[in-house]
Each structure stands twice: as C-alpha cells, then as structure tokens.
Structure 1
Amino acid sequence: MLLRYLAYTLAAIWLIHTFWPEHAHAQQPSPPVSQCQAIAEATPKATFASFTVPGTMPASAADSEVNITYLGHSTFLIETPGGISIATDYNGWFRPPAPPTVVTMNKAHSSHYTLTPDPAIQHVLHGWGDNGKPADHDLVVGDAYIRNVTTDIRSGYGGMEHNGNSIFIFEVAGLCIGHLGHLHYELDDSHYRQIGRLDVLMVPVDGGLTMGAESMSRVVSRLRAALILPMHRPPLINDFLAMFGDDYDKSFATESSVKVSLRSLPSKPLIYVLLGG
C-alpha cells in the first residue's frame, strides 16, 4: 500500500509539472524584439527604402513625436513621447538643461565620452567592451529600446581595435533612429543586417577624422534613411552634400531641434543640417 501511495504521489507531481499552465513556471525574461531588424535578417543584402506607415497603425501611434536636438559635435538629445531623454556620444561638455535618463559613449576620441558622467544619469552605455568582450546593449527604458552594433576603430601606429566602438540604435514611437558614432571603416553586410531599417540617421561628416566624404556617403546611401542629420561637422559640410544627387533633398535648418514621427518622415530622403555645431 505504501509503495502504491508513493507511486501515485510521484505521478501526480509529474502531471502537475508537465501540464500546469506555462505562466506558472518560473520564466526568464525574454530579450527585447527589434522591429527595425526583422526585415534585415531575411534580406541581408537589401537596401531599405523609407518606411511606410501601415494602414492598421493607430493614428496616435503614427503621430507620436520624438524631439531631436543637436547639442554639438556628436551629441544629440533624443526626447521620447514618454519622457525619456537620451544623449548620444556624451562627453560632459555639451549638456542638456537636465541630466538625461540615458547616455551613450564612444571612445575613439575623448570628445565622445567621459569617465566621470553626472551621477544623476541613470544609464551610462559604453560603446566599447569593459570586460574584454564586445559591448552588448539591449536596454528598455520607458518607451525606448536601445541596442548597439559594434564596429572596429583605428588605433595607434596604424593598428586596429576590434569592436572598439558602437553604432547605437534607438527604437522609439515606431521609429528606428541610428547614430553612427565615430565610424572609421565602411560597413559590411553583417553590419547592415544587424542595424536593419533606419528612419533617422545621425552621421559624422568631418572629411577624414572618421571616414572620407565619399566613403561616408556610400554608407548613408546603403542605409537609405528618410531623415539624415549630419554631425561632427567641419566647414566641409558642402563637400559632403555634393556627394548626393537629385535623389536627396538638402536643407539647412534655422533651429537646433526637429520633431519627427512616423507620419512626418519625408517621402524623399532629406539631409537636414541642424543649427549648431
């Protein structure tokens, strides 16, 4: 009798464990899903056209605006509809009025990072690995999802540092916003696949400190963002603009900020030079 009771007990435990609803088991948190990467993984060699707002998307979502302000050098302030603020390539020199929620950094030059950020900043994301491995960020903060794609950089005496910096991608309000950081080499197919679709692209334009204008223009053309925001700009901005033909509109803004939503994206790619620098 005792053996039969023990057998029934073990069988009952097995049945409960096997058929209990899935949510009853301890679950590991699922990694965020990138909406900007989905198509890219299936078509790694594709050149992505500008995003078209699906007819099924609620008007409120399509019209949700992200405010982007050029603070200087390579630092933009991205402000989400949910109140999250993100400063790119933060060096402590170009500061928004209040400490941002998140800052990203790159270390190719000291003008792109600081090791003594304001303690009020909640999340400090290094574009380089601090543990000997490539940086790997998948962070959800409020209504923003932030991830990175590592790139190689030049190092001293003609050398190269693998995965020394990152391209950061910010997915906010349905938009895919990319910041190329201090890009030193043209991207390959694996980079484009990891980046995916970009609606807004922040691109360094310096004539050679990162890459020459011709090389950088090829990267911009392949990414095919709807709105291109030059940064890290010298007086040679016109040389960069001259690399793009009639397939692109070009405009110099009278302000340092621009508001953008899925619905307001230009149908023809626009290189928009924000005030400041």
Structure 2
Amino acid sequence: MSNIISIQSHVVFGHAGNSSAVFPMQRMGAEVWPIHTVQFSNHTQYQQGWTGKTFDASDITDLIVGLNNIDKLKVCDALVSGYQGSGAQCDSVVSAVKLLKKQNESALYVCDPVMGDPEKGCIVPEEVTTKLIDHLMPIADVIVPNQFELTQFTGMNITSLEGAIKACKRALSKGPRVVLVKHLHSLSDDCFSMLLATEDGMFLAQRPHLEFAKQPVGVGDLISGLFTAGLVKGMNATQAFEHAHNATYGVLLKTQQQNSWELETIKAQDEFVTPTSNYKITRVA
C-alpha cells in the first residue's frame, strides 16, 4: 500500500485543497494522511464569504513529529504540499520534507506552489511567495505550477510553447527533477494545455476547453493529487501525466453536465481509476 502525506487547505463544503485531492488519491488506491493548513466552511470565491481559521505552523510540525514517533514516516512514499497560509507554514513544510527524507530517502516531495493566476495575480502573502520560490520549490522532486507560478519561479515571461519549454528547462536547473505545468493559458483559447518536463523530454497534453458559468475551483489541487498518486502507484512520469490529464477532464465534463460550480468529485470517481477519455500526450522537445 502506498502512503501519501498531503499538507493543503481544506474546505468543509465543496472540493478545494485537500477536499479536492485526498479522495481521488484514495480512490486510486493510496493511503492519504491529510494535514490541513486552513479549514474553511467553503472556498473563498463565494460572495457570501466563508468562515473558519488558519492553523498555526506548529500544528504541521507537531503532526509530522507524531507520525514519526509511530514510525510512519519510514513507510511514507510521498509528501504533497499545496496552499500555505503563512511563511511560517512554509518553514514547517520544509522541516517536514527534511525529516521525511531522513527517514525514507526514496520518498517524493511534490510541491504545488499555490500563488495565484493571471486573472487574480498573487493570492497569498508576499512572504509565502518568497518562501515557495526560494525554499520549497528548489527542494522538491516534482513541482506543479501553473503558467503564472512558473513565471514567478523562473523570472521568465511565457507567451508561447517555445517560451514554456525554456522556462521548464530553467526550472529543472533550479532543483526539481519533474515539472508539470498544470495550465498553460497562453497556448490556445480552444484547448486546455498542460506541459510535462523531465530529463527525458517535454510532453504536451491538450483537451477541449470546457465553458462554465463560473469556473470550478480546486482543479489544480486535483491534478497535483492524481499525478502524485500515479507516481507512487508505479506509473512513470508520462503515464501519470496522461492519466491525470484524462481523469481531470472526466471530472470537469461531469461537472459541466451537472451545471455545478463545485467539482463533481464523487459522481465522477470512476474517472480516477479508468478515465473515459483518452487524449494522448505528444513529445514537443
């Protein structure tokens, strides 16, 4: 059995952060040990607002120490981190990764560097962005940025596929062994595009763009979770990439059919095991 620690935000209602990533990873056959950075009633784009709290950075550290005390870090295959609410929480994640690697050298660290997107700009405090760029992303085995976050990490403006490839190469030179760009918005208005960069090459995934009255939240968290689960279940990077791409599309298609703002994670759960779509990835470099 594969075991994954997931340090992300959590919403009571809907699917974002751990609420988007944990169940899909479990459905793929992994045990998931969630640690919440915040717990909100719902995601933060509701006009009515939200309730809840941000947890102290010490809570992350205490829980990791507790897992280590019962010798579970030795059998943990991966740690995935998502939204962090403070610079101190980022520091706790760094410490968690170091302790995990000490107990299990083969464990993967997958960093989803949640900062923002082109429409919103940065949605986290400046200290979080700085910690992500300078401390978390360089120690990660895998990073899963969107185009905006890749630009923040590399300092390179991206307007084309060629530019994205160059930015990925720079990202790989800064520490990570795998880069999955979960949304390349500048490539096409008709297709949703993702890019995988490894030492073996660059691979593009594209599928039809789906229209929504309100764009669902938590899609990036879902992609990161599915990719992580694929890797720890024995898929190579390209297999995990294609699986995550097609499974996510299946969830979004079900969400569109239900005219829902929240991802239809439960109704579309079979997609995590056997995606109904089969959009092939292509080597681009």
Fold shared by both chains (TM-score > 0.5)? no
Structure with higher strand content? 1
Structure with higher helix content? 2
TM-score, normalised on structure 2? 0.37
Q: Which has the larger Rg?
A: 1
Higher relative contact order (CA 8 A, sep 6+): 1
TM-score, normalised on structure 1? 0.37
